[in-house]
Amino acid sequence: MTDYRLVCTDCGAAHSPSDVEYLCPICGPLSRPTASPLGVLRVEFDAAARLGRFPNARTAGTARWAALLPIESAASLPGLPVGPSPLLRAERLGREIGLCDLRIKDDTGLPTGSLKDRASCLVVAKAIELGRKTVTTASTGNAAVALAAMCASAGIRAVIFVPAKAPPAKLAQMLAFGATVVPIRGTYDEAWALSLEATRAFGWYNRSTAYNPYTIDGKKTVAFEIWEQMGRKVPDVVVVPTGDGVILAGVHKGFSDLVRHGLADRLPRLIAAQAEGSAAVAKSLDLGGDDVPSIGAAETLADSIRVATPAAGRWAKRAIRESNGGAVVVGDDEILAAIALLGRTTGVFCEPAAAASIAAVARGVRSGAIRPDETVVALVTGTGLKDVDAVRRVVTLPDAVEPTIDAVRKRLGDRGTGP
180-214 per-position pLDDT tens digit: 999 989 887 788 889 989 999 999 999 988 889 99
Q: Which has more confidence, 143 or 92?
A: 92
Q: Is residue 165 part of a domain?
A: no
Mean pLDDT across 282-305: 89
In this prediction the pTM is: 0.92
* pLDDT for residue 1: 46
Cβ-based neighbours of 401, under 8 Å, separated by 6 or more: 407, 408, 410, 411
- What per-residue confidence (pLDDT) applies to 356? 97
- Structural domain including 330 reads 87-113+215-394
Q: Is the pLDDT of residue 390 over 80?
A: no
> Does the pLDDT value for residue 383 go beyond 50?
yes
Confidence at 88, pLDDT banded by 50, 70, 90? very high
> Average pLDDT for residues 340-365, to the nearest whole number?
96
If you average pLDDT over every residue of the chain, what do you get?
91
Q: Is residue 92 part of a domain?
A: yes
- Split into its structural domains, the chain has a count of 1
Q: Is residue 296 part of a domain?
A: yes
306-323 pLDDT, tens per residue?
A: 988 998 999 999 999 999
Domain assignment present for residue 172? The answer is no
Q: Span 46-74, mean pLDDT?
A: 85
Ranges 6-20, 41-55, 262-276: which has the least confidence? 41-55
Share of the chain above pLDDT 90, in %: 69
- Give the pLDDT mean for 361-385: 96
294 domain-assigned: yes
Which residues 6+ apart lie within 8 Å of 418 measured at CB? none
pLDDT 10s digits, 256-266: 999 998 999 99
Specify if 255 maps to a domain. Answer: yes
Would the pLDDT of 401 be above 70? yes
Q: Taking residues 82-101, report their average pLDDT.
A: 96
Q: Tell me the CATH number at 372.
A: 3.40.50.1100
Can you give the pLDDT at residue 419?
59
Q: Is the pLDDT of residue 51 over 80?
A: no
Residue 1 lies in a domain: no
**What average pLDDT does range 364-385 have in this prediction?**
96
Segment 315-344 shows an average pLDDT of 96
Residue 238 within any structural domain of the chain: yes
